[in-house]
Amino acid sequence: MSHPLRVLLVDDEYLAIEDLLSMINWEETGFEIIGTARSGKQALKLLSEKPVDLVVTDISMPGMDGITLIEEARKDFPDLVFLLLTAYAEIDYMKRAFQQGVEDYLIKDEITSQILTEKLRKVRVKMLSHHAEAYSHLQKLFREYFNSGTVDLPSALSSYGSRQFYYCIITPDILYPLTDDISADHPVTALSIIQSALPYMEEFSFQSVRQLCSYIAYNNKIILLLDLSAPVSVLQIMDMLRQYGQSLLGLLSQKLPYSYSFFYSQFPLTLEEIHADYFRKQTPLRGRYFLKGKQILSLDSPSLSVSGIRTDFKEDTLIRLYQETPERLPHFLEEQLKTVTASRNYTGLFAFLQVCFSFLEHSLSDSAPKPDYEDCKDLPSLSAFLIRQYKLLMEKDSLSHDSRQAVSYIMEHCGNPELSLQEIADHIGLSVTHFSRIFKTETGETVGDYITTYRMQKACHLLKETNLKIYEISEKTGYSSPQYFSQVFVKQFGLKPLDYRKRNRI
């Protein structure tokens, strides 16, 4: 945390404050003066309005002395650091001051620019070290709490139990999940996109918004807890949150090649209430998939309304269409996408996308396209990617009608352990010898190898997308023996079926 630490100067003597302001270059020393106060009450008011890291305060002040100021400020700002200004005659007060956690003190008559600079630099080093350690620990606590379905506030966070915060959610503008593994084909992941934004959240400051913590929560989103305790109206707070979001997204667009959206709560909530609300908002937040990127919206915005209707869209539909009238495929996909988009049906959308990518994977095998971030950042870009790939698939496909019929038959009957070359040849009306020669020439594989490859591809799909047992997947892919199925799978992919499921489960 290299940004200037924010300082509030408190002294009832005007000249004392002027001396402190002019004695050193505060900015070069790593501090920013955010305000001055002439009394303890005025200081408390400023603390409620502006984020402050360090308070430099006189002990002896009328009405509310420095010790009382510290005691009162600690109630709402337990992490605030204090540096006391004292006279020789007030040394007896220091024991009480240190009991309140005062960082250090300066004797007024002995203050010089050199002494003040050295003292502040020592305080800054200690504060930054303490802030980094404390902040990291706090992040860990919040991350664990907001990645768990447990509603009750952990005892480690009990000191924040009665406090209320506005909370914001930062999400990456990405529609289809990228792989969980970083590779040459996938240089970024959904998690890495959100992780790259977190350091900028930690350093970000805006007007009088006090950020308690930012951390990664369940489902690859960043939560920011904001303390807006200043006495302003609801409309002013909403305007401030929108400005905060605009400024933050502007910073991220300058620093990162990815796009993000910003969603904010309309009311202050306790941590337990925020936790419950965050998990409730997982479904409405899917509404962002149907919007353009870089959104700044209330979490209760009607723009986030969605439906979750299951559809019967199956891969077999694409297979039949591809075999019979492939030229209709791109238009068919566009119409299907328009239907789920118009109804804002996120369940139908993701079922549609899974079927589309599964079909491409089965049709193209090792050459199946892998979308990158630019292809996944919103619905139009992903739609364009899919249509482009299906058009390329048709352009590259040189299978004859007989081979197409054979492939379609294999797909439909791959679950039959007795499926044979003779059966397929009889179905399309060719001799085994003639059919075998045509199929090998056009596909580059023997019929037996093609059947095995397709069965293994289907097994991979079932391992990733279902909870079926290994013996059930074995049966569905045409293997009467689970042990033999596992042997073939290991030979094909170099790992056992259950290990494949663990690595590739979405």
Q: Is residue 142 part of a domain?
A: no
CA torsion sign for 90, 93, 98, 102 is negative
Q: Are residues 87 and 178 in the same domain?
A: no
Residue holding tokens 């409620």?
Answer: 48
Closest to 308 measured CA to CA, from 339, 279, 348, 341: 348
pLDDT score at 364: 65
User: What is the arithmetic mean of pLDDT over 224-235?
Assistant: 80
State the Cα–Cα distance between residues 208 and 50, nearest whole angstrom: 5
Q: What is the DSSP letter of 461?
A: H
Q: Are residues 392 and 412 in the same domain?
A: no
Q: Would you state the torsion angle of the CA atoms of residues 193, 195, 196, 197, taken in this order, to the nearest 10 degrees?
A: 100
pLDDT score at 97: 58
Q: What is the DSSP letter of 177?
A: P
Amino acid at 121: R
Q: Are residues 418 and 366 in the same domain?
A: no
- Ranking 132-141, 270-279, 303-312 by mean pLDDT, the lowest is 132-141
Number of structural domains the chain divides into: 4
pLDDT score at 505: 55
Q: Are residues 36 and 97 in the same domain?
A: yes
pLDDT at 327 over 50: yes
Closest to 198 measured CA to CA, from 121, 143, 280: 143
Q: What angle do CA 134, 138, 142 make, to 5 degrees?
A: 175
Last residue within a domain, chosen from 396, 424, 456: 396
Exposure string over 52-89, b if 16+ CB within 10 A, otherwise e: bbbbbbbbbbeebbbbbbbebbeeebeebbbbbbbeee
Q: Is residue 217 part of a domain?
A: yes
Q: Is residue 208 part of a domain?
A: yes
| Range among 120-129, 226-235, 274-283, 441-450 rated most confident | 274-283
Q: Is residue 230 part of a domain?
A: yes
State the Cα–Cα distance between residues 170 and 198, nearest whole angstrom: 10
Q: Are residues 289 and 388 in the same domain?
A: no
Give whole-number Cα distances, 121 to 35, 108, 136, in Å.
20, 18, 22
Say which CATH number the domain at 77 has.
Answer: 3.40.50.2300
Contact between 174 and 376 (Cβ < 8 Å)? yes
pLDDT score at 381: 83
Q: How many other CB atoms are there within 10 angstroms of residue 258's CB atom?
A: 20
Q: Are residues 252 and 231 in the same domain?
A: yes
Please give the mean pLDDT across all residues of the chain. Answer: 84
pLDDT at 489 over 70: yes
**CA neighbours within 13 Å on the CB side: how many for 36?**
13
| Range among 32-41, 107-116, 370-379 rated most confident | 32-41
Q: Percentage of the chain with pLDDT > 70?
A: 90
pTM: predicted TM-score of the whole model, two decimal places: 0.60
Q: Is 13 exposed, middle or buried (0-12, 13-18, 19+ CB in 10 A)?
A: middle
CA torsion sign for 485, 487, 488, 493 is positive
User: What is the arithmetic mean of pLDDT over 72-80?
Assistant: 85
Instruction: Please state whether beta strands 104-107 and 81-86 pair in parallel, antiparallel, or not at all (unpaired).
Output: parallel
pLDDT at 251 over 90: yes
Largest CA distance in the chain: 112
State the Cα–Cα distance between residues 455 and 441, nearest whole angstrom: 21
Range of the domain at 299: 163-304
Say which CATH number the domain at 200 has.
Answer: 3.30.70.270
pLDDT, tens digit (0-9, with 9 covering 90-100), for 135-193: 788 889 999 999 988 888 989 898 888 889 999 999 998 886 654 443 444 446 778 88
pLDDT score at 180: 43
Model confidence at 379, in pLDDT bands (50, 70, 90)? confident
Last residue within a domain, chosen from 304, 325, 348: 304
pLDDT score at 101: 61
Q: Is residue 430 part of a domain?
A: yes
pLDDT score at 274: 96
Q: Are residues 290 and 331 in the same domain?
A: no
Token representation of residue 425: 């040849």
- Ranking 3-7, 138-142, 194-198, 428-432 by mean pLDDT, the lowest is 3-7
Q: Are residues 392 and 405 in the same domain?
A: no
Q: Is residue 453 part of a domain?
A: yes
State the Cα–Cα distance between residues 190 and 171, nearest whole angstrom: 10
State the Cα–Cα distance between residues 340 and 312, nearest whole angstrom: 12
pLDDT: which is higher, 430 or 384 = 430
- Ranking 108-117, 343-352, 363-372 by mean pLDDT, the lowest is 363-372
Q: Are residues 177 and 289 in the same domain?
A: yes
Last residue within a domain, chosen from 246, 280, 304: 304
State the Cα–Cα distance between residues 126 and 436, nearest whole angstrom: 78
Say which CATH number the domain at 475 has.
Answer: 1.10.10.60
Model confidence at 292, in pLDDT bands (50, 70, 90)? confident
Q: Are residues 124 and 173 in the same domain?
A: no
Closest to 129 measured CA to CA, from 103, 159, 149, 161: 103
Q: Are residues 13 and 108 in the same domain?
A: yes
Q: Is residue 144 part of a domain?
A: no
Model confidence at 326, in pLDDT bands (50, 70, 90)? confident
Q: What is the DSSP letter of 62?
A: S
Q: Are residues 385 and 475 in the same domain?
A: no
Q: Is residue 154 part of a domain?
A: no
